[in-house]
Amino acid sequence: MATSIEQQAKGKKDGEIRYLTPLNIETTKAKKYCRFKRSGIKYVDYKDPNFLMGFVNEQGKLLPRRLTGTSLKFQRKVATAVKRARHLALMPYVGDLLK
Amino acid sequence: MNNYETVFILNPVLSDEQIKETVKKYEDFLVSRGAEMVAKEDWGLKKLAYPIQHKKSGFYHLFEFKAPGEVIEPLELEFRRDERMMRYLTVKLDKYAIEWAEKRRKRNKEKA
């Protein structure tokens, strides 16, 4: 909604910051979703390190569900898959600037 | 009979012949104990994500087979005794894993 400078200034003291054009900040965040549920993947393959790389950070640590949006059921499967991949040296246990 | 999948890493200093011989040995070992091979894959010489036994690469092999549960213990014992073997992992496949394995095989075939 466009407001004039006078309208914005209403009820404000002199010297307070006013904007010439009203700010339009998007406040609704994109809803997180579980990519396994959405695309119908039922098995997390430990033999595919490229895919599993999406679930670890630069140091090779597992990312929390809170960040990836993975459902609990699949987070557990991702965790075992990553651990298996590490055992087979497909993925590192520790890393530096992996991505 | 259960479905299993095993991936193992062979020492990179072995010659092609030694590798073939080792792979053959384990295949025969499984078959002689009543296992049925479903698929074999040779991933070739791959770089390891971290050094194992001071080696930076290894020959990867994958076996997928149907076998009674009793053969796994002697197979892994054999793996542990074998110094050509750097790492191994045996996994029992559930119904989703079998489905995925078939899909993966088909996709690899198309690529090749």
Whether the per-residue pLDDT at A95 is higher than 80: the answer is yes
Where exactly are the structural domains of chain B?
Answer: 2-111
pLDDT confidence band for A44 (50 / 70 / 90): very high
Q: Domain for residue A83, yes or no?
A: yes
**CATH number of A44's domain:** 4.10.640.10
How many domains are there within chain A? 1
Q: Domain for residue A65, yes or no?
A: yes
Residue B97 in contact with partner chain A when CB distance is under 8 A: yes
Q: How far is CA B102 from CA A40, A85, B64, B70, B99, in A?
A: 16, 20, 11, 25, 5
Class assignment of domain B2-111? alpha beta
pLDDT for B43-90, tens place per residue?
A: 999 999 999 999 999 999 999 999 999 999 999 999 999 999 999 999
pLDDT for B26-35, tens place per residue?
A: 999 999 998 9
Contact A89 B58 (CB under 8 A): yes
Contact A88 B104 (CB under 8 A): no
Task: Determine the structural domain holding residue A69 and report its residue range.
Answer: 35-88
pLDDT confidence band for B10 (50 / 70 / 90): very high
Over range A87-97, report the average pLDDT.
90
Q: Which residue has the higher pLDDT, A9 or B33?
A: B33
Contact B7 A91 (CB under 8 A): no
Residues of A in contact with B91 (CB under 8 A): 46, 84
Q: Domain for residue A17, yes or no?
A: no
Q: What is the pTM of this model?
A: 0.80
Residues of B in contact with A43 (CB under 8 A): 94, 96-97, 99-100
Q: Which residue has the higher pLDDT, A30 or A23?
A: A30
Tokens of A43: 């098995």
pLDDT for A52-61, tens place per residue?
A: 999 999 999 9
Report which secondary-structure segment, H or E, holds B61.
strand B55-67
CA-closest candidate to residue A32, choices A71, A62, A5, A2: A71
Residue B45 in contact with partner chain A when CB distance is under 8 A: no
| ipTM of the prediction greater than 0.85, yes or no | yes
Residues of B in contact with A86 (CB under 8 A): 49
Residue B52 in contact with partner chain A when CB distance is under 8 A: yes
- d(CA A94, CA A86) in angstroms, rounded, equals 10
Contact A45 B104 (CB under 8 A): yes
**How many of the other CB atoms lie within 10 Å of CB of B100?**
18
Contact B87 A88 (CB under 8 A): yes
